[in-house]
Amino acid sequence: MTEPATTSDFIRDIIRRDNEQGTYGGRVQTRFPPEPNGYLHIGHAKAITVDFGTAEEFGGTCNLRFDDTNPDTEETEFVESIVADIEWLGFRPTRVLHASDYFGQLYEWAEYLVSQGLAYVDDQDTETISAQRGGFGKSGVASPYRDRGVEENLDLLRRMKAGEFEEGSRVLRAKIDMAHENMALRDPVMYRIRHSHHFRTGGDWWIYPTYDWAHGQSDAIEGVTHSICTLEFDTHRPLYDWYLEHLPLPGDQPKQIEFARLELTHTVTSKRRLAKLVADGTVDGWDDPRMPTLSGLRRRGYPARAIRAFCTEIGTTRTNSRQNIEALESFVRRELNASAQRRMAVLRPLRLVIDNWPSGLDGTPLVEYFDVANNPENADDGTRQVAFSGELWIEADDFAEVPPPKFFRLSPGREVRLRGAYLVTATSVDKDADGNIAAVHATYDPETRGGDAPDGRKVKSTMHWVSAAHAVDITAALYERLFTAPVPGEATGEPLDDLNPDSREVVSGRAEAALADAAPGQVVQFERLGYFAADPQTHLLFHRTVGLRDEWAAIQRRQA
């Protein structure tokens, strides 16, 4: 389901070279390794398109591997959402695997390293250990336990595993080099003692592997060839290699390749911070349409295809940068312009009464039906019937009693087009006791059926409308940026300081009857207003996906 690759990138170049040299016998196997401690976000979509897309392009395989090595933060709910989000994006893992399935093998390998004199139990606490690591240009200090004998180390490790010791009282460390210029190699921690329940292994384990100790080994166990991750692991690569070089591996040694994370303006892509928004109740859960999670974007109406196309288009590099969110929105708009049916809805309704509209013999206003194209971009979407009568809803913004300069919509004495129906001229207004406009009166020209005058006279604006007698009540959630600053946290260091307190406005609107049939999740264009997604659960609740104006085009013009 990947879009064809238009350009090459350094990752594909590495794989091509490996294939030419026969490094992995032409085999390409990648993996996507999320920690199930939250929902996937737009940054993960980039990693997914790289991991799955690259494997697919080379006829290889890509597993989903849960990096479930931290029992305190991981849950089955997250596992299930991750599986669903990857499928929604359009990728299918070759296999679904868990690092926790390798706890036994990892432990055996840890004993092996101990037996080789390459790992030791340190009885110091983590603060002391990190204070001893030194810094750039400053060598670390060896632990007093660094030169323990193999037998004592094995005994202590076995007792750590058996749950004999307090949490935090001991760790297992690799014995590498306390003076190494790369801090990651200064005797890194392999195992921590945790007396927590793990969502898969329950109470089986009292010690848990660190990311570094688990990751490369899991790759090797599964037969991964190219282990693609983000740039912050760059300095860990020598450690990744060190472990693999010192173990009796079942097969080839996988290769870690790093690329720059996807960051977006006005967006935070950190599970920890997103989790805080959920926990604080700032948003209504992980799938709140304002969230940059895949489940939030899906509920907001973002098509998976648009997200994939965006991730492909921005390319894969080793340079950190931040993409404009308007660029992603532009992909969304392009996709929806082709796929979304058009409907008429009025979000700030004002009553328009056509005084010369005819009534039938029984005294009730006549109803006329117009055949309207569902999507002018796609004839296959057919047409629908839209009712028109003498009382309509129009947008309050589309009327001005005293029009300001350059206001060409409806005002007393001014003629406008009601889209696809008739030309109407406003005549007067009704006001309530407070002086607010309660209704606008108008006359229509019966000769202009369809919206054009036979004498060719022009009007300056075309407005959408909804027949009052046929309207359904809808609720629309209008969203602004969740973060006001383009780079959240740039000023204070804390992205959550830039939260927009007014990121959602909920309005009650009126819409043409066809909207009552919107399928859960269906995205439609409200004419002149934007794209709106029907909520998957609540009937007649619509989330504004994006507006109609392509701000990305304007940004690009400004940058050119």
Q: Which residues bind ligand ATP (CB under 6 A)?
A: 33-35, 43-44, 46-47, 67, 229-230, 261-262, 269-272
Q: What b/e string do you get for 382-397 counting C-beta neighbours within 10 Å, with b at 16 or more? A: eebebbbbbebbbbee
Residue 98 touches which of Mg ion, ligand ATP, none (Cβ within 5-8 Å per kind): none
The smaller minimum CB distance to Mg ion, of residues 189 and 400, is found at 189
Smallest distance, Å, CB 533 to ligand ATP? 24
Place of tokens 């101990």: 114
**Cα distance between residue 407 and residue 400, in whole Å:** 8
303 contacts which partner out of Mg ion, ligand ATP, none, CB within 5 to 8 A by kind? none
Alpha-helical regions (H) of 116-203: 126-131, 150-161
Question: Of residues 12, 159, 200, 261, which has the active-site annotation?
Answer: 261
Q: How far is the CB of 36 from Mg ion (least distance, A)?
A: 11
Say whether 160 sits in a helix, a strand or coil: helix
Nearer to ligand ATP, 74 or 122 (CB): 74
Distances (CA, A) of 57 to 2, 20, 219, 230, 312: 8, 16, 20, 20, 13
What CA–CA distance (Å, rounded) separates 39 from 47? Answer: 14
Choice between 73 and 378, CB closer to ligand ATP: 73
Phi-psi region of 315 (alpha: psi -120 to 50; beta: other; left: phi over 0): left
Give the residues across from 473 on adjacent strands: 510
Pairing assessment for the beta strands 368-373 and 415-418 based on DSSP bridges: unpaired
3-class SS at 62? strand
Whether 271 sits among the annotated catalytic residues: the reply is yes
Strand partners, 259: 230
When CB distances to Mg ion are compared, the closest residue is 35
DSSP string of 328-340?
HHHHHHHHHHHHP
Which of ligand ATP, Mg ion, none does residue 512 bind to, with CB < 5 to 8 Å depending on kind?
Answer: none
Closest separation in Å from C-beta 173 to ligand ATP: 23
230 binds, among ligand ATP, Mg ion, none (CB under 5 to 8 A by kind): ligand ATP
Q: Is the CB of residue 470 less than 8 Å from the CB of residue 512? A: yes
47 binds, among Mg ion, ligand ATP, none (CB under 5 to 8 A by kind): ligand ATP
Annotated active-site residue in 31, 170, 271, 299? 271
Q: Of 50, 495, 551, which Cα lies nearest the Cα of 262? A: 50
Q: In the complex with ligand ATP, which residue's Cβ is closer, 33 or 289? A: 33
Q: Classify burial at 262, counting beta carbons within 10 Å of its beta carbon; exposed 0-12, middle 13-18, buried 19 or more.
A: buried
How many CB atoms neighbour CB 281 within 10 A? 8
- Please say which residue, 35 or 480, places its beta carbon nearer to Mg ion: 35
Q: One of 12, 35, 334, 391 is an active-site residue; which one?
A: 35
Minimum distance, C-beta of residue 466 to ligand ATP, in the bound complex (Å): 42
Question: Which lies closer to ligand ATP via its Cβ, residue 231 or residue 555?
Answer: 231
Question: Contacts with Mg ion in 25-54 (CB under 5 A)?
Answer: 35
Q: Which residue is nearest to ligand ATP (CB)?
A: 43
By beta-carbon proximity to Mg ion, the closer residue of 229 and 347 is 229
Nearest approach, Cβ of residue 33 and Mg ion (Å): 8
**Which listed option, Mg ion, ligand ATP, none, makes contact with residue 271 (CB within 5 to 8 Å by class)?**
ligand ATP
For the question of residue 75 being annotated catalytic, the response is no
Contacts for 164 with CB less than 8 Å, ≥ 6 apart? none
Taking the CA atoms of 214, 220, 222 and 226 in sequence, report the sign of the dihedral they define: positive
Whether residue 261 lies in the annotated active site: yes
- Look at residue 33 and give the partner it binds from ligand ATP, Mg ion, none, a contact being a CB closer than 5 to 8 Å depending on partner kind: ligand ATP
Binding site partner of 475, from Mg ion, ligand ATP, none, Cβ cut-off 5-8 A by kind = none
Return the DSSP state at 260. P
Task: Output 43 or 216, the one with its CB closest to ligand ATP.
Answer: 43
Rounded Cα gap, residues 330 and 419, in angstroms: 26
* Cβ neighbour number for residue 373 with a 10 Å cutoff: 15
Site residues (CB under 5 A) for Mg ion?
35
Residue positions annotated with a catalytic role: 35, 261, 271
